[in-house]
Structure 1
Amino acid sequence: MLSFPNAKINLGLNITEKRADGYHNIESVFYPIAWCDALEMIPSENFSFASSGLGIPGNQANNLIVKAFELLKNERNVSFEGNVAIHLHKVLPMGAGIGGGSADGAFALKMLNELFNLKLSVSQMQEFASRLGSDCPFFIENTPKFCFGKGTEFENVELDLKGKYLVLVNPQIHISTAEAYSGIKPQKPELSTKEIIKRPIYEWKEVLKNDFEEKIIQNHPKIGQIKDKLYQLGAQYASMTGSGSTVFGIFEKEIFDLESIFKRCIIWKGEAGF
């Protein structure tokens, strides 16, 4: 079985309050895009995991795909017998704010559910995904959502960017969670992101904000330079996505020659419809 775990962008990201459990409550609109990894699973006598493409740092046991397998395997209420050989071809950069690792974990849950006929409902898979990480539940339904709470609560939103073109530029700067939250002062925004996105896109520039952006751009000026350049190229809206270093722009038409403009960066472009 083969699937293509896709990235997402954040349209606005507000850190609204610090929680008693040490996490933060947020508000954001998550929008899926067609930049993907490739994930293959086949039944096997023994469990195995291998990867190609971009190198994946850290211990394999901490990979969300492996954790998804172990989670279902050890869940008492899930009749899961068997093993799989898994191969991940990693395309989506890590620490980039586009949810690549979260997508891999969520898609692994969905594939295991189908491959072994576990009959898990969407809500059950979302609950399992929430145990893997904050962004993971979004990728179960993989449709535009208003995200709130710890990042695991969602509402459907009416948002369709079909006909627009996206450009994502990653300067290969890894932003840790600790760095992203350093200096953040949680506060509730005057306008909710789910209300702002109802406005025409050209109005988003002044009101749709990512609370991580200011401090991260101070620490890494190149990220701000990328954002400015996307606006110079004609973006209707440009922003850093998530807590990572990737910057995206929404355009009316396709943009060319990006490699010569954004040197030594990872670039993806494509239609915004998913």
Structure 2
Amino acid sequence: MKDLAIRSYAKINIGLNVVGRREDGYHDLDMLMVPVELHDSIIMSEIKNTDDNFVTIDDFSGVRIHHNIASEALNLIQKKHSIKKKFRVFIHKVIPIQAGLGGGSSNAAFVLKGVNQLLNLKLSEDNLIALAKELGSDVPFFISCKPVRCRGKGDEFEPVAIKNNYHVIIVKPNPGCFTKEVFDLSDTMNLNTCNIDNVVKALKEGDDKLLAESIDNSLEDPAAGFVPEIKLIKQKLKKLGLGIVSMTGTGSAVFALSTNATLVKHAARKLEDRYVVEVTKILK
């Protein structure tokens, strides 16, 4: 059996509202999740004469670890579908971690899809989403990996149309943000709100002025409580001529959208000496 090469894409949140806290400890959200071309690379293959899977993650810092949510995804699909075969999974990390870009959740989803493809299980998208829901609130999104409006705890989807072809600059300060800490702090604060309906309308109609006026992330102030540089990066991007600017997820990465590739690349050159900077595009 040949190795299977997979691109495991990142996401950005083009608008995020915290609606409230649920009894199960999760938060109800209303947000847009949009995949981007920035991706980790996964190589999967079946291995014989072993009782164990081997999952290795080689990230951009050169540190090797041997367990993450991708391992949990592999174990879950094997258990649920009585799969005795074992696998070697190598993940080359490019997506910055603790950034709000969904890298770990993406890896888990694409491992599920990889096993489905390698073994020709013929599991439907709905079957894979059901498995993904057991792994984390962001994982189901990456099964379809298309622009959606998400509600609930992030697993209720409604397709979103995007007219413009946006170039994206992603800027991450050195400190990362931990999801639980940001949400816990958000429970003690009065949060900004984002007009998600206006964001959806702006994306559908290609109205960049409305999008720039409407985009926001309720979790920005809590995240900036841990990483104040988030606010500074937003200011720098705007001074460089980028109007559609926001933090993604729980941070600490900030992104900007533009139909002008030259403007995005210029901003990247100005900021790449101080921050982790990625230039990419949205996926529709």
Q: Same fold (TM over 0.5)?
A: yes
Asked if the contact 1:15/1:187 (under 8 Å) is kept, the reply is: no
How far apart in 1 are the matches of 2:74 and 2:193? 42
Q: Which runs of 5+ in 2 are unaligned?
A: none
How far apart in 2 are the matches of 1:189 and 1:27? 13
Moved more, 188-197 or 214-223: 188-197
**After superposition, what is the alpha-carbon deviation per residue over 1:101-140, rounded to whole angstroms, capped at 9, x for unaligned?**
0000000000000101112110010010111111000011
In the other structure, the counterpart of 2:138 is 135
In the other structure, the counterpart of 1:233 is 240
Identify which of 231, 243, 248 aligns with 2:255: 248
In the other structure, the counterpart of 1:10 is 13
In the other structure, the counterpart of 1:52 is 58
- Determine whether 1:92 maps to 2:92: no
TM score, norm. by length of structure 2: 0.87
Shift of 1:205: 3.1
**After superposition, what is the alpha-carbon deviation per residue over 1:202-222, rounded to whole angstroms, capped at 9, x for unaligned?**
223333220111232244221
1:110/1:273 CA distance change after superposition, 3 Å: closer
The number of equivalent residue pairs is 270
Asked if the contact 2:32/2:150 (under 8 Å) is kept, the reply is: yes
Q: Which aligned segments of 4 or more residues in structure 1 are displaced greater than 6 angstroms?
A: 56-59, 186-191
How far apart in 1 are the matches of 2:131 and 2:57? 23
Asked if the contact 1:7/1:92 (under 8 Å) is kept, the reply is: yes
Matches within 5 A, 1:1-274: 1-45=4-48, 46=50, 47-55=53-61, 60-61=66-67, 63-75=68-80, 78-162=81-165, 164-185=166-187, 192-199=195-202, 200-254=207-261, 255-257=264-266, 258-273=268-283
Moved more, 6-15 or 250-259: 250-259
Task: Give the alignment's Cα RMSD to 1 decimal.
Answer: 2.3
Q: Which runs of 5+ in 1 are unaligned?
A: none
Moved more, 217-226 or 5-14: 217-226
How far apart in 1 are the matches of 2:163 and 2:181? 32
Structure 1 counterpart SS, 2:99? coil
How far apart in 2 are the matches of 1:140 and 1:214? 30
Moved more, 40-49 or 173-182: 173-182
Shift of 1:197: 2.3
Matched letter for residue 52 of structure 1: D
